[in-house]
Amino acid sequence: MDVLTETHPYGEHPAQTLTIRRLPVEPIPCGIPEPRPGLLMVPGDFWTEPGDLGEWPEKFAQAGYVTLTVSYRQGPDAPWPAGRDDVLAALNWARTNAAALNLDPERIVAFGTATGGHLAASLGTLAGPPAPSAPRAVVGIDGSDPSGRTATLTVDNTQITIDGWVDPALKGFIALSAPLDPLRAYTTAATASGAWAEQQARLGEAAAALAGCTPDGTLPDVACHGTWQDMRVAAHASGPDTDAPALLVHFSDDLVPAEHAEDYRAAQLNQGATANDVQVYVVKGRGHGLDGMAAPGIEPVVRAWLNARLGASTAPTPCEPVPVPAPSGGCCGGGTCGGPGQSDTPGEPGPVDLPMPPPCGGEGPAAPAPEPAPSGGCCGGGACGGPGQSDGGPVSVPAPAPCEAPVDPQSPPPCGGEGPAAPAGVGGCCGSRV
């Protein structure tokens, strides 16, 4: 089944776009129940490049999800938390337009690779309290708005009213080789060695560019320290009541070591989470990011995890043709068809437009025979052809004309009026008077 693809802006910046892929809506009784669960897909490459999700947005859309691939601001002109705010704004836009997308706004999981996984995880913990020493931001829902979509955002004691606020709570997030702790990425880059050394050094530099400062204090210490803490996903861990469940995948030989995931899991366990709330998979061997989906056993794990968080399997139901009885005159028994109003697909029923198409040229029911035409009759049983006589079709018979003179049975005159004929061989007059 073909996947519908459309791209919409969710903000004013050229980079703020959302590409939606989904299956078309199928009529009952076949197709996928509406609305459908969503995957907010966040690519990433060192917080500076768009990244690539390969064929996975299309494949997940074929499986019945509405995939929402986010493009967001990156690079030196978009320091933290611009990327996280953009992903949240994209989620807000998708939920606001959920009806048009056949999307269930309450069943969305974030899926991110590499630095995109860091943003997906940051969104999954955004509903919790602010990180220690981070700039304090508190959201209060306006109780006078019955829709719950008006909120007040308080940042450093300054209130901002938000019209159209959507709670960022997700049903979960999946992060593949995600640097969940940019501070760790920065500090380990200096001692990096081995095959990943060059890229780990680049990741550390990218983390400093994202923060807008280095941890040794190129900005005032309080502000710089608060930004680095805010970027650490583990610093926002607050337990299963507020944070989304997580599925984290790394390789044993990875650009981003599995310690990033282990630190996050430990922080959540300290907040009352269980091992099922934060699942960590380490694939033996070398790889990074989207390579994880091709690793043995990981794709089935991801699909099963999604089904557990979003409901029953979303695989589409094959759509069988809905039988439509053919009206009379159609050719639907498997013969050779082709006349006007007949089906031109052998063996397949379908609507017939014409009320009385020609008979079917092959097997299959044809149009019923016409009803016998009323007999017009001939005056005196003689040859027909005059006015009021039968021509093999219906004859309109108004009141018969009076009979003016007897009719010679041997040579009956033409009937001057319209009326029934006399019995053959007897003669008579128009109007049935002898």
pLDDT for res 217 = 53
Asked if pLDDT for residue 29 goes beyond 60, the answer is no
pLDDT for res 324 = 52
Token pair for 233: 């996903």
Which range (151-160, 240-249, 406-415) has the least confidence? 151-160
Span 318-344, mean pLDDT? 45
Contact 319, 30 (CB under 8 A): yes
Q: Is the dihedral of CA 373, 378, 382, 383 positive or negative?
A: negative
Token pair for 90: 């994209």
Query: Which domains, and CATH codes, for the chain?
Result: 4-133+167-310 (3.40.50.1820), 321-370 (no CATH), 375-434 (no CATH)
Contact 280, 265 (CB under 8 A): yes
Asked if pLDDT for residue 178 goes beyond 60, the answer is yes
Token pair for 186: 């920065």
Asked if pLDDT for residue 299 goes beyond 60, the answer is yes
Contact 248, 261 (CB under 8 A): yes
Note the pLDDT tens digit of each residue in 354-381. Answer: 344 444 444 444 445 555 444 444 443 3
CA distances from 386 to 375, 401, 404 (A): 14, 15, 18
Provide, for the chain, the percentages of residues in helix, strand and coil under a 3-state DSSP scheme, each rounded to the nearest 5.
Answer: 25, 20, 60
pLDDT for res 50 = 85
Note the pLDDT tens digit of each residue in 209-254. Answer: 999 988 875 555 678 889 999 999 999 999 999 999 999 999 999 9
**Measured between alpha carbons, how far apart are the two ends of the chain, in Å?**
79
Q: What strands, in cross-sheet order, belong to the sheet with 150-155?
A: 137-141, 150-155, 158-163
Compare 93 and 312 and report the one with higher pLDDT.
93
Q: What strands, in cross-sheet order, belong to the sheet with 17-22?
A: 4-9, 17-22, 66-71, 36-42, 103-113, 172-176, 246-253, 278-286
Query: Highest-confidence range of 15-29, 62-76, 131-145, by mean pLDDT?
Result: 62-76
Contacts of 214 (CB under 8 A, 6+ apart): 186, 208, 224
Which range (117-126, 252-261, 342-351) has the least confidence? 342-351
pLDDT for res 47 = 95
Which range (32-36, 86-90, 430-434) has the least confidence? 430-434
Largest CA distance in the chain: 133
Residue 9's beta-bridge partner residues? 17
